[in-house]
């Protein structure tokens, strides 16, 4: 796994999912491999060659060549002849937008996220669990003067990020341990740090209702996150807010950013379940405005 200069994770896929379905007569391996080809394209990737796709998917290059040809014929990939490379085509984009449109939480949470992002002067994001990664499905940037360079569709590590940890702490212990083992397998040199980070996240969530990350993934991002488990069983979501350490020192993560994320979860959950309007009210506005007053305090460099 590598992270490019913009901080977007290039997650190298494997063919393990196919092996796990060995002997399953209902499982269509060819379809699974075609979908793996589509999944290996990431935001800001540009174009990928058959060789690059083969490396990311761990599929034989001849197989990839047949798959990319088929996907081009179906309108899900486009080939750039002069480069001999491929990019996602409008057919794939249509599927992506349809999936996002069906995530009702994005629409319910939007105004609440906008208000939190504006008050904290930092991006607030919504994510879901996607295999061994957290996937961004929504983001509000507010008036932040810096850019984290993560977009909708970005996939980030679980154990080293606030969003990922927020998703993990809600999982059954066996599933959480499996995710931790996968992360340690990829980065054995970080094994002890990852275990410590996970243990802290579990303790923080039990005590405060949110988790924090202080540069474990990227030293320029300190963040807080909180999970939302949908009452209708549709999934687990997480909100996070991250910024450079000078903007979000650890004391602010615990005293204001984390509590705002936990409050964001509660108001969105209430709105989803009809316990409150789908628009921010005075109580919510007061809470986020109080958090936004942090930078105006003399001890934090304000006037």
* pLDDT tens over the chain, length 303 residues: 334 433 444 444 443 444 456 678 889 989 999 999 998 887 777 799 999 999 999 999 999 999 999 999 988 899 988 888 999 887 776 676 566 555 678 888 999 999 999 989 999 999 999 889 999 989 998 877 777 778 888 889 999 999 999 999 999 999 999 999 999 999 999 999 999 999 999 999 999 999 999 999 999 999 999 999 988 777 899 999 999 999 999 999 999 999 999 999 999 998 888 777 667 777 777 777 776 655 434 343 332
> CB neighbours of 246 closer than 8 A, spacing ≥ 6?
none
Distance, in Å, from the CA atom of 113 to the CA atom of 174, rounded to the nearest integer, reads 32
Q: Of 256, 270, 279, 262, which Cα lies nearest the Cα of 122?
A: 256
Query: What are the backbone angles phi and psi of residue 258, rounded to the nearest 5°?
Result: -60, -50
Nearest residue to 229 (alpha-carbon basis) of 152, 172, 286, 279: 172
pLDDT score at 108:
87
- Rounded CA-CA distance 221/248 in Å is 9
Domains, the chain, in order of start with CATH, read 2-92 (1.10.10.10), 103-300 (3.30.450.40)
Say what the pTM is.
0.72
Helix ranges (DSSP H) in the chain: 16-19, 29-39, 50-57, 61-73, 90-101, 104-120, 162-168, 173-186, 191-208, 250-252, 258-272, 282-292
Cβ-Cβ contacts under 8 Å for 256 (sequence gap 6 or more): 120, 291, 294
Q: Where would I find the H helices in 156-281?
A: 162-168, 173-186, 191-208, 250-252, 258-272
What tokens appear for 94 in the block? 């249509």
Q: In angstroms, rounded to a whole number, what is the distance separating the alpha carbons of residues 96 and 92?
A: 6
Tell the residue number behind the tokens 């083992």, with chain if given: 181
Contact criterion met (CB below 8 Å) for 240 and 125: yes
Q: How far apart are CA 42 and CA 92, in angstroms?
A: 13
- Supply the pLDDT for residue 93: 67
Distance from C-alpha of 232 to C-alpha of 164, rounded to nearest angstrom: 22
């Amino acid at each position: 796994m590598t992270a490019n200069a913009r901080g977007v994770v290039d997650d190298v896929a494997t063919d393990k999912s196919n092996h796990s379905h060995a002997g399953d007569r209902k499982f269509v391996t060819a379809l699974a491999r075609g979908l793996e080809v589509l999944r290996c394209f990431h935001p800001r990737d540009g174009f990928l060659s058959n060789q690059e796709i083969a490396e990311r998917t761990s599929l034989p290059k001849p197989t990839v060549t047949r798959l990319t040809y088929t996907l081009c014929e179906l309108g899900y990939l486009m080939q750039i002849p002069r480069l001999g490379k491929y990019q996602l085509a409008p057919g794939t984009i249509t599927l992506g937008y349809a999936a996002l449109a069906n995530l009702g939480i994005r629409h319910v949470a939007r105004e609440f996220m906008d208000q939190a992002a504006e008050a904290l002067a930092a991006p607030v994001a919504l994510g879901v669990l996607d295999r061994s990664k957290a996937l961004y499905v929504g983001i509000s940037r507010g008036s932040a003067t810096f850019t984290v360079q993560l977009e909708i569709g970005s996939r980030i590590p679980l154990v080293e990020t606030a969003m990922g940890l927020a998703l993990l702490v809600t999982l059954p212990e066996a599933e959480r341990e499996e995710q931790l083992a996968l992360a340690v397998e990829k980065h054995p040199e970080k094994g002890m740090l990852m275990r410590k980070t996970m243990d802290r996240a579990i303790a923080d969530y039990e005590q405060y209702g949110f988790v924090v990350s202080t540069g474990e993934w990227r030293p320029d991002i300190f963040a807080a996150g909180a999970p939302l488990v949908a009452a209708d069983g549709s999934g687990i979501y997480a909100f996070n807010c991250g910024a450079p350490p000078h903007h979000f020192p650890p004391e602010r993560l615990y005293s204001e950013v984390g509590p705002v994320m936990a409050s964001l979860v509660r108001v969105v959950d209430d709105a989803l379940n009809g316990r409150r309007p789908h628009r921010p009210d005075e109580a919510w506005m007061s809470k986020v405005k109080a958090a936004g007053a942090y930078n105006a305090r003399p001890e934090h460099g304000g006037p």
